[in-house]
Structure 1
Amino acid sequence: MTIQTPPDPSAADLAKHLPQAITKYLRESDPQHKANAHDLLAAFATNATVVDDGKTYTGHDEIHRWRENEASQYTYTVELSHVEKLDDDRYVVTTHLEGDFPGGVVDLLYRFTLADDLITMLEIAP
């Protein structure tokens, strides 16, 4: 089921359709937000897996190192552009990034899988 989005929806309008764990992840991973590693990890199950840029990170320690590296590597802005609920436990979130990374502009898909109100799997891909 696609969540219909009005023209020029605000991030708040789109985010209100998301479970708390996903909203928390998006807020804590936004480079404009003063990230708190504890709050970010609280969105994930302890044995969660993240797949990003062809690499897999499992568990809080690896996910924390991944986010610390990602957050310090480039400067960029993030705009939430689309939300899709696949079923009660799976969501796809599209974001638009602009910054000083190679290419400078990219739309990313974040595929979230949840269990017990926590992220158990996050796959990030263009």
Structure 2
Amino acid sequence: MNDITLPKAVDHFITATNAHDANELAAVFGDGATVRDDGQTWTGEAEIREWIQGHLIDPRVVLTPTSFAHGRLVASGDGDFPGGPLSFALVFDIKDDQISGLAIEPV
């Protein structure tokens, strides 16, 4: 991925997102994880699966990382949504090789 070294959980997140694999995406999140995106927060497996489907799978998002430092991934995101590709900052909290928190904002 552009010679950027990513933690295992972040690499798994990118790979599963780009493969449009909802089950693999859900598996990278730990128990009680949270996602903050579009001014909302999703907590726990059921809500995160809802977010995955609506924000990553249905619009067929493909992420291309451009940089990573201190848990913050900057990536270009494209898919079936207006205005793409768009740049996003994805800030990951990782615990035991799983995502415990994710916050996404436009860059």
Which TM bucket (shorter chain)?
0.7 to 0.9
What TM-score do you get using the length of structure 2 for normalisation? 0.86
Q: Which amino acid aligns with 2:21?
A: A
The alignment status of 1:20 with 2:8, answered yes or no, reads yes
Shift >6 Å, 4+ stretches:
none
| Residues 17, 61 of structure 2: 8 Å contact kept | no
**CA RMSD in angstroms, aligned pairs only:** 1.7
Q: Which amino acid aligns with 2:47?
A: E
Q: Which amino acid aligns with 1:118?
A: Q
Cα gap change, 1:75 to 1:69, in 2 (>3 Å) = same
Cα gap change, 1:22 to 1:109, in 2 (>3 Å) = same
- Percentage identity across paired residues of the two chains: 30
SS at match of 1:13: coil
Q: Which residue of 2 aligns with 1:44?
A: 29
Q: Which amino acid aligns with 2:3?
A: D
CA distance in 1, matches of 2:80, 2:29: 28
Residues matched between the structures, number: 105
Q: Which residue of 2 aligns with 1:113?
A: 93
Runs of 5+ in structure 2 lacking a partner? none
What displacement does 1:29 show? 1.2
The alignment status of 1:69 with 2:54, answered yes or no, reads yes
The alignment status of 1:53 with 2:38, answered yes or no, reads yes
Q: Which amino acid aligns with 2:32?
A: N
Q: Which residue of 1 aligns with 2:17?
A: 29
Structure 1 residues 6-29: Cα deviation after superposition (integer angstroms, max 9, x where no partner):
xxxxx1521xx2221111111111
1:73-112 matches, cutoff 5 A? 74-84=59-69, 86=70, 91-112=71-92
CA distance in 2, matches of 1:20, 1:104: 27
Runs of 5+ in structure 1 lacking a partner? 1-10
The alignment status of 1:124 with 2:104, answered yes or no, reads yes
Bigger CA radius of gyration: 1
